[in-house]
Structure 1
């Protein structure tokens, strides 16, 4: 089977540093690149050895020899280019958010369903090694029913210096966890938010979830922490069970061990005591613990019609609906 020929729209920092470096590891080749910035386009083409370039994404989508499309260029282009790809029958990967609004994301999901074209959304949080390990623990028979979610996903006010418009914070930061939380906990019955603005550009949100299962949850989102510190963590509790993921690199699984202080024979007991996992960062391999490679590999599988667990356009629409519902609740 020949390698998948990808048309690529968007050559910004995120694409260059997070997404494009994974391309050489995929069963795919870069057939064409597009970006509106001529200098950025030329630099990216040179870096990744791509001969064919254009500054017009519509021209790229029309190339007859493409097998699939990747779009990482902002929500407006994500939506428009994805619709154009669907109309051509091209499988498409769109970075998050898939569109600027929930209504637009839902129209994209409807178009994908109607034409039967795979549309994968860039929710890589599902694919980070630690999150995958913890999610598999949650879904095991031993863990049982989930009771609560508690987590935080912060960023710095740098994005908003002199301009306290939080749209980018919502669309490019918060939306990740409006996908990850239901992925971990199941469907959401209701969602709301409370806000506190420390100063212009420094926003704190507490998002409250009630899940269809009866479980409850709280997610803390904010723009007032240094990006030099750990930015995220989450915890799910069950009955005498608890899973925690710290900063996307450490998993802790707590059970119900007995007190050991009075036991001369006390030891570590499989099935009782805490399990801890951390990646071996001394390994001389690109293990991509943030999840970008695994996500794009699932996209390639989806584009070929193979089995995959990739987040779909419908998942993107759900995340956008939940986020908008929470923001509307707080009048944001």
Structure 2
């Protein structure tokens, strides 16, 4: 079954990472919209759209649409999603869903009223390494998740002008407000922060947390590393087991092997020795290590009324609530440091 989708926002991220996945899942881009006329026209030509708009309200009123997708800014996400829901259309929105928790909750309320899906682009769940880890963590063999530690870094590209950290929080940190509870299998119960700033725009936030299931952890997020180096790592502890996910493409699963140095008959035992995975980048097949293809596949399934694990707007509400709690704590730390 092919559905007609209207797409809002034709920038580099949308046109390179998201829109190419739509046709693979029988989602035909019938109309596109962008305030940049050249970007919209290029996307229409590239993806075979029949109509081009500069106003998202005009696109939403395009005849024959079955759903709306968008990757723009949080203010437009909020306004355009409400407009689409008012027309009875399900929606996919990139993260963040809105500029704050209140507007995200407004979207959730409108989605409930319209009885339509609003799906959030929490793509970190779909990165292959993270999905492998999550499936192992859900198994009885791993047992209770004791702790999670890691880092998720960026560079100060958000701060070409004034060091306004809101973009860093909304576009970067929000990913881990969703990913950490998803990996732990439990919502946050408590958060704490420590902050270090070397110069305006160069921030390091250490987030400590406890989840409702008793898992504890810490993660460092900041703008102090080059994007030209690996900027993401996660270690998840169980009892005599641990998972390590490096750069989202290297997964190691450590169990409880015996020492082998003095055992002349030592070998590798499938049940206890370390398992490793990394993608084959030389293969012609799409390894989808970032997870965009898998995300859009679930979006398409949800739009078609099929079984789907796509993250819904209420999960976006939870992530934004955690993000606002974290940013409030960061603000308190800044005040302490100024005294």
Instruction: Tell me the TM-score normalised to structure 2 length.
Output: 0.95
Which position in structure 2 is the counterpart of 1:140? 139
Given that residues 169 and 327 in structure 2 are in contact (C-alpha distance below 8 angstroms), is that contact kept between their aligned partners in structure 1? no
* Backbone CA RMSD of aligned residues: 1.1
Q: Distance in 2 between matches of 1:138 and 1:51?
A: 45
Give the CA deviation at 1:161.
Answer: 3.1
1:238 deviates by 0.8
Shift of 1:285: 1.6
Is the 1:122–1:295 Cα contact (8 Å) retained in structure 2? Answer: yes
Provide the residue aligned with 1:296 in structure 2: 296
Structure 2: how far apart are the matches of 1:233 and 1:294? 21
User: Any idea what the Cα deviations from partners look like across 1:75-131, whole Å, max 9, x if unmatched?
Assistant: 011111111111222110000000000111112112212221011000010011111
**Alpha-carbon distance in 1 for matches of 2:106, 2:161:** 34
Please list every run of 5 or more consecutive structure 2 residues that lacks an aligned counterpart in the other structure: 333-339
- Look up the match of 2:148: 149
Structure 2: distance between partners of 1:36 and 1:305: 32
Q: CA deviation at 1:243?
A: 0.7
Q: In structure 2, what is the equivalent of residue 104 of structure 1?
A: 103
User: What is the TM-score with the length of structure 1 in the denominator?
Assistant: 0.97
Q: Deviations over 1:126-149 (max 9, x none)?
A: 011111001000000000000101
- 1:330 is matched with 330
Kept after mapping to 2: 8 A contact 1:192/1:327: no
**Number of corresponding residues:** 331
Partner of 1:95: 94
Match of 2:196 in 1: 196
Q: Please give the residue correspondences for 1:252-331 in structure 2 after superposition, counting only pairs within 5 Å.
A: 252-331=252-331
User: Contact between 1:191 and 1:326, CA under 8 Å: does it hold in 2?
Assistant: yes
User: Do the aligned residues in 2 keep the contact of 1:257 with 1:273 (CA within 8 Å)?
Assistant: yes
Give the gaps of 5 or more residues in structure 1.
none
Cα pair 1:96 1:121 within 8 Å, conserved: yes
2:88 aligned with 1:86, yes or no?
no
Distance 2:20 2:216 in 1: 39
The answer on 1:116 being equivalent to 2:115 is yes
Question: Is 1:246 the equivalent of 2:249?
Answer: no
- The aligned counterpart of 1:65 is 64
CA contact (8 A) 2:101 2:317 kept: yes
SS class of match (2:311)? coil
